Structure 1
Amino acid sequence: MARTAKQALEELSRPGPHEVLHGDLGLVGLPGLVLTPRSGLGLPAVAFGHGWMQPAQRYRELMRHLASWGIVVAAPATQRGPLASHRLFAADLSTALDVCAGVRLGEGAISVDPERLGLAGHSFGGGCAVLAAAEDERVRAVVTLAPSESLPSAADAARRCRMPALHLAAGRDRLAPPVAHAEPIARAWAGPVSLRTVDKATHLGFTEGRHVSDLLLDGAPERGSRRLARALMTAFFLRTLADRRGYDALLTENVRGCSIDLSRGALTGAFAR
């Protein structure tokens, strides 16, 4: 059943129907977290990249939410120092997808369809997700949250990305202002793309909890920003990776506090594999 944008936002901002399991990527050789539905075969999977100096635990709420809607989420906990490598972290995101697609999870009750893989990331991790997507032909969809430019350039890499993408900029971001970071990435994107601004979000608005890096970076965790982000991400990945069409209105219409700044390509048509 098709929902209005308001109905979709309300529904997808709440947990989904699946019970969630928490796991440790370190058991297969890559430090980090993995959250999955309790069971399911041929599920979609997303590798999520943390922000600069951020622990993966600051995104547990978002990961748990996606898992409750039937999406496996893996978050590498590597490259967390002040001199972190974008290139190496992009490789770790691809490795996390290898783990999801190649290892039976949840005591064998969970499997991932290798044709339903996506990438996402916040800040530093957003730029790295773009780098990884440009090199990994398996990736079917990308979401970034307050993405920051990278070395090598995420904007340059975006020119090689033909999968659909949703970029969520933070309207009050003073660390990675949208005009210098999210917007160039979105404008360079080769495939269908949507750039939206969460009006009241700061750079750290998409995180949760407290961390020592809060003293160095701009902003603070914000419940409203996280609510919008998790609903939009869920709608986007359900459409691109699971071909669920009931929430399309949320992806194509403005909602309060989150306007569409750029939309190129027939997104709802392009999502079908």
Structure 2
Amino acid sequence: MARKAKHLLDELARRGPHEVLRGDLALVGMPGLVYTPKSGLGLPAVAFGHGWLQPPTRYADLFRHLASWGIVVAAPGTHTGPLGSHRLLAADLRTALDVCVGVRLGDGDISVDPDRLGLAGHSTGGGSAVLAAADDGRVRAVATLAASQTKPFATEAARSCGMPGLHLAAGHDLVAPPASNAELIARAWGGPVQVRTLPKASHLGFTEGRHWSGLLVHGKAEHATHRIARALLTAFFLVHLTGEADYLPLVEEDLKGAEITYDGDDDLAATPA
């Protein structure tokens, strides 16, 4: 089974079969990005929360990757300053899902299924994704990257999250150490949940390119971290939002470089609506 998971990792780490379109959430009154497959009806959608001081463009390749596998991604560009509100970013993530469901994207030949919605985020954006999921019964799955604590507390909000959760932690994270962030969120999680630790990753390892915030926040963009994160998030959302059972081994099995360090449920299999 481990060999099967490695094969799926190699497959999903590569760009998917769909051509990708990029749009701007500013057209509906919110700064941010949206990435979609070129066409498709009843697609899954994920709203993504950026990390502290990080613009959404620092995750553009991740968004493009998910869209190439048939997943619409909307990423608000709000609250990017040092005093950005976690609570209001969570509200904007829910609004981004509203936009995905309520607006025909592209030239009108792209639509999102309201029963196939997920949330994701990095750092405090991961914590905000947890806050948003706790207050939104539409959300079917949540994934975080190096999740950080928020105010209100993501660890408290996690108790209201009954959907599957995947939390990728960075082993060299000096900002949000796995044991005091991702694992605490997972231990409070109200549904099936898993923590995977990438032992060589840093807090900013999930971001792309260079940014002045690197002077304040530990870490830098890491190709190996990107590769594993893209494959695992793609598998997780395809399984839980679309019922693609072929990718279950990558969701359920241990993987070199992304070992399962906490498993809150023996069965992470999906039963999407």
Query: Same fold per TM (> 0.5)?
Result: yes
Question: For 2:203, what is the secondary structure of its paired residue?
Answer: coil
Question: For 1:267, what is the secondary structure of its paired residue?
Answer: coil
TM-fit CA distance, 1:107: 1.1
TM-fit CA distance, 1:269: 3.2
Distance 1:90 1:269 in 2: 26
Partner of 2:265: 265
Cα deviation per residue 1:51-94 (whole Å; 9 max; x = unaligned)?
A: 00001000000000000000000000000110111100000000
Cα deviation per residue 1:148-207 (whole Å; 9 max; x = unaligned)?
A: 000000000000000000000000000111111111000100100011101110000000
Q: Match of 2:214, as an amino acid?
A: D
> Are 2:51 and 1:51 aligned?
yes
Distance 1:271 1:149 in 2: 29
Distance 2:272 2:22 in 1: 30
Question: For 1:54, what is the secondary structure of its paired residue?
Answer: coil
Contact 1:164–1:267 (CA under 8 A) maintained in structure 2: no
Distance 2:272 2:113 in 1: 15
Partner of 2:145: 145
| Structure 1 vs Structure 2 CA RMSD | 1.2
TM-fit CA distance, 1:271: 3.9
Partner of 2:74: 74
Distance 1:187 1:271 in 2: 22
Paired residue total: 272
Distance 1:138 1:262 in 2: 26
Distance 1:130 1:62 in 2: 19
Q: Match of 1:192, as an amino acid?
A: P
Question: For 2:231, what is the secondary structure of its paired residue?
Answer: helix
Contact 1:164–1:271 (CA under 8 A) maintained in structure 2: no
Contact 2:164–2:268 (CA under 8 A) maintained in structure 1: no
Partner of 2:156: 156
Question: For 1:111, what is the secondary structure of its paired residue?
Answer: strand
Comparing 257-266 with 52-61, which one deviates more in the overlay? Answer: 257-266
Which consecutive aligned stretches of 4+ in structure 1 deviate over 2 angstroms post-superposition?
A: 264-273
Contact 2:192–2:265 (CA under 8 A) maintained in structure 1: yes
Q: TM-score, normalised by structure 2?
A: 0.98
Question: For 2:150, what is the secondary structure of its paired residue?
Answer: coil
Partner of 1:112: 112
Distance 2:50 2:209 in 1: 14
For residues 113 and 272 of structure 1, do their structure 2 counterparts lie closer, same or farther at Cα, with a shift above 3 Å needed? closer
Partner of 2:18: 18
TM-fit CA distance, 1:265: 2.2
Question: For 2:160, what is the secondary structure of its paired residue?
Answer: coil
Q: Match of 1:51, as an amino acid?
A: G
Unaligned runs of 5+ in 1: none
Distance 2:231 2:28 in 1: 30
> Are 2:251 and 1:255 aligned?
no
Contact 1:192–1:270 (CA under 8 A) maintained in structure 2: no
Contact 1:167–1:195 (CA under 8 A) maintained in structure 2: yes
Distance 1:149 1:271 in 2: 29
Q: Match of 2:6, as an amino acid?
A: K
Question: For 1:4, what is the secondary structure of its paired residue?
Answer: helix
Alignment of 1:81-230 (within 5 A): 81-230=81-230
Contact 2:240–2:269 (CA under 8 A) maintained in structure 1: no
Q: TM-score, normalised by structure 1?
A: 0.98
Unaligned runs of 5+ in 2: none
Distance 1:242 1:92 in 2: 24
Question: For 1:34, what is the secondary structure of its paired residue?
Answer: strand
Distance 2:205 2:186 in 1: 20
TM-fit CA distance, 1:270: 4.1
